């Protein structure tokens, strides 16, 4: 199903601004649905489950990488950008996925990894062959220091130095992640052109946009200067676990380079040739995440939206932290557009990370649907899945194996989606899955929750529906977030409506004064409280108040 850029796709053309305030459902293909009995999820498995995604009310899906890969980092190490890895299917299967999604009204965004490739990519194999071949400068190569040590002090996110010695070239190459993930050199014009060609290939195939992995890692400092140390009091574990020395540096030279802005402008110019194509960037930075978000999404000439890691960190998402994050966003990125997520394939599921009881899971889902910005939901989040406890002998993630047991890696959030309570492997596969299904995920399976009107799954559907029927929640303005103890509140408004939103983010009752004017309670299906005769709003534990100005 090749869709030339000149064709008018009604799904794409319906609203070129569809991404603003959109709900994007992330699918980790290895773990969503196995269609061929090999224990690994695949593209046809996703096709089979797309009606379920549509039933949630999502606007789009984001599919983690399915390209040809040796799978050292489970698809984030690409050896062929132009094909589907056989374990996931074929290009024809991908065409079927696009066609099915569009018929269901779902946009399709795919995960594009442009900062690095696999060391088995033909580009790298040629680049490492000698120092004079046509792709000799397609990767970041550097001579050693006179004593033979790496050219600088940069560290890998996955542990250890960010440099690896290549005996054939007698040089070091940069790898910000695994040794088998060499970094591309985007200072090279030919590399930029080829990466834009990759994006064009998939746009021509019908995708509606991209999730851009590690968007702030595209360029490294030309002079390869050392990173300065980061004081202990400024360290946090939002990007790497505390046991990783990566947290000991301020990464001002190994990423976040100013040249990235011009490349993003080129990328946006390509997107603009296609009706309503959009991109969301992953900003991996513990100190400047919101500032970079603002740089990359401002001006209408770079990517449409980015997400940072503020709501993906281990720190409990208390009312004050939500308010502080939005104030920082306002200060650092007044023209930016954020995409918010509580969980994804790289972090501990938020149910476990914040130790949330069922009522709190409902409250946070409602809060997410009321915040200004776009939204990413991670598969299984709508079921209330907690982090699975994966035994060491079952671990697949090299990151977890490296830092076990202080950090158990990312496998706990990547276990198979539970579809059927009574079926083998929860209906994911008829064979042993690549990761085990957590025993206590079976009772949370989709079929069980579909048959329970009070299940979290139906709350997510109601919360998503509430966002969709109130335009102010999708694209409207948001007032500064105020707090009163554990209660936060704000206004959302556009030229059609004004909504008052308050949330008690605690297991204790809370009280705030009702806003002036005449209001109607909305969101009763979400347990919304109403003002009392005394002019106060009395909120129970984990209870919202949602009102619309009359």
Tokens matching residue 421: 């309570």
Burial of 211 from C-beta contacts in 10 A (0-12 / 13-18 / 19+): buried
**Among candidate residues 28, 1, 82, 69, the one with its CA nearest the CA of residue 410:** 28
Non-local CB neighbours of 180 within 8 Å, separated by 6+ positions = 70, 72, 73, 77, 118, 119, 120
Which helix (DSSP H) or strand (DSSP E) does residue 10 occupy? helix 10-13
**Among candidate residues 487, 484, 491, 502, the one with its CA nearest the CA of residue 546:** 502
Whether 285 sits among the annotated catalytic residues: the reply is: no
Whether 282 sits among the annotated catalytic residues: the reply is: yes
Do 409 and 399 contact (CB within 8 A), yes or no? yes
Task: Compute the distance between CA of residue 78 and CA of residue 69 in angstroms, rounded to an integer.
Answer: 5
Tokens matching residue 260: 């990235």
Phi and psi at residue 305, in whole multiples of 5°? -155, 155
Looking at 73, 183, 221, 282, which residue is catalytic?
282
**Helix spans in 207-341 (H):** 259-271, 289-297, 319-332
Beta strand 209-212 pairing with 278-282 = parallel
Looking at 73, 213, 221, 295, which residue is catalytic?
213
Non-local CB neighbours of 61 within 8 Å, separated by 6+ positions = 24, 25, 26, 27, 46, 50, 53, 101, 106, 107, 108, 109
Do 220 and 155 contact (CB within 8 A), yes or no? no
Q: What is the DSSP letter of 144?
A: P
Q: Give Cα 496 distance to the centre of its chain.
A: 31
Task: Give, in order, the Cα–Cα distances in Å from 468 to each of 56, 471, 526.
Answer: 11, 7, 14
Do 333 and 297 contact (CB within 8 A), yes or no? yes
Dihedral sign, Cα of residue 534, residue 537, residue 541, residue 547: positive
CB atoms within 10 A of CB 124: 23
Task: Compute the distance between CA of residue 166 and CA of residue 413 in angstroms, rounded to an integer.
Answer: 34
Beta strand 339-340 pairing with 374-378 = parallel
- By annotation, the residues acting in catalysis are 213, 282
């Amino acid at each position: 199903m090749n869709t030339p850029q000149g064709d008018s796709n009604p799904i794409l053309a319906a609203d070129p601004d569809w991404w603003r305030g959109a709900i994007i459902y992330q699918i980790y293909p290895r773990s969503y649905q196995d269609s061929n009995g090999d224990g690994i999820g695949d593209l046809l498995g996703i096709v089979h489950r797309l009606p379920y995604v549509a039933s949630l009310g999502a606007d789009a899906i984001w599919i983690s990488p399915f390209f040809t890969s040796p799978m050292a980092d489970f698809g984030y190490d690409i050896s062929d950008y132009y094909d589907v890895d056989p374990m996931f299917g074929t290009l024809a299967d991908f065409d079927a996925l696009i066609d099915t999604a569009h018929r269901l009204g779902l946009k399709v965004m795919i995960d594009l990894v442009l900062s690095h490739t696999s060391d088995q990519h033909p580009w790298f194999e040629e680049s490492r062959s000698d120092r004079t071949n046509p792709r000799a400068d397609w990767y970041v190569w550097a001579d050693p220091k006179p004593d033979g040590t790496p050219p600088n002090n940069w560290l890998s996110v996955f542990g250890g130095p960010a440099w690896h010695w290549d005996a054939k070239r007698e040089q070091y190459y940069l790898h910000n992640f695994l040794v088998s993930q060499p970094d591309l050199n985007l200072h090279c014009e030919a590399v930029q052109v080829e990466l834009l060609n990759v994006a064009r290939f998939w746009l021509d195939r019908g995708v509606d946009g991209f999730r851009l992995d590690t968007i702030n890692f595209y360029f490294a400092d030309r002079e390869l200067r050392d990173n300065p140390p980061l004081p202990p009091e400024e360290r946090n574990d939002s990007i790497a676990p505390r046991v990783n020395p990566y947290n000991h540096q301020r990464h001002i030279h190994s990423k976040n380079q100013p040249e990235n802005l011009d490349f993003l402008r080129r990328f946006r110019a390509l997107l603009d040739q296609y009706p309503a194509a959009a991109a969301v960037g992953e900003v991996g930075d513990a100190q400047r995440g919101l500032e970079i978000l603002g740089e990359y999404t401002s001006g209408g000439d770079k990517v449409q939206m980015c997400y940072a890691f503020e709501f993906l960190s281990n720190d409990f998402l208390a009312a004050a932290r939500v308010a502080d994050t939005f104030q920082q966003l306002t200060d650092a990125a007044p023209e930016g557009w954020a995409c918010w997520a509580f969980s994804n394939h790289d972090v501990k599921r938020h149910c476990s990370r914040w130790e949330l009881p069922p009522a709190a899971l409902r409250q946070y889902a409602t809060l997410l649907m009321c915040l200004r910005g776009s939204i990413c939901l991670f598969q299984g989040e709508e079921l209330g899945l907690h982090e699975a406890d994966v035994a060491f002998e079952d671990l697949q993630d090299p990151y977890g194996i490296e830092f076990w047991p202080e950090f158990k890696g990312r496998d706990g959030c990547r276990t198979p989606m539970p579809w059927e309570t009574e079926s083998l492997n929860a209906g994911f596969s008829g064979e042993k899955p690549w990761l085990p299904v957590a025993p206590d995920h079976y009772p949370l399976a989709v079929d069980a929750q579909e048959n329970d009107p009070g299940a979290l799954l139906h709350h997510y559907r109601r919360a998503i529906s509430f966002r969709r029927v109130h335009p102010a929640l999708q694209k409207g303005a948001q007032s500064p977030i105020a707090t009163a103890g554990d209660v936060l509140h704000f206004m959302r408004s556009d030229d059609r409506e004004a909504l008052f939103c308050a949330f008690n983010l605690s297991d204790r009752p809370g009280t705030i004064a009702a806003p002036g004017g005449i209001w109607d309670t909305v969101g009763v299906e979400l347990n919304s409280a109403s003002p009392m005769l005394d002019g106060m709003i009395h909120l129970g534990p984990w209870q919202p108040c949602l009102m619309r100005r009359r």
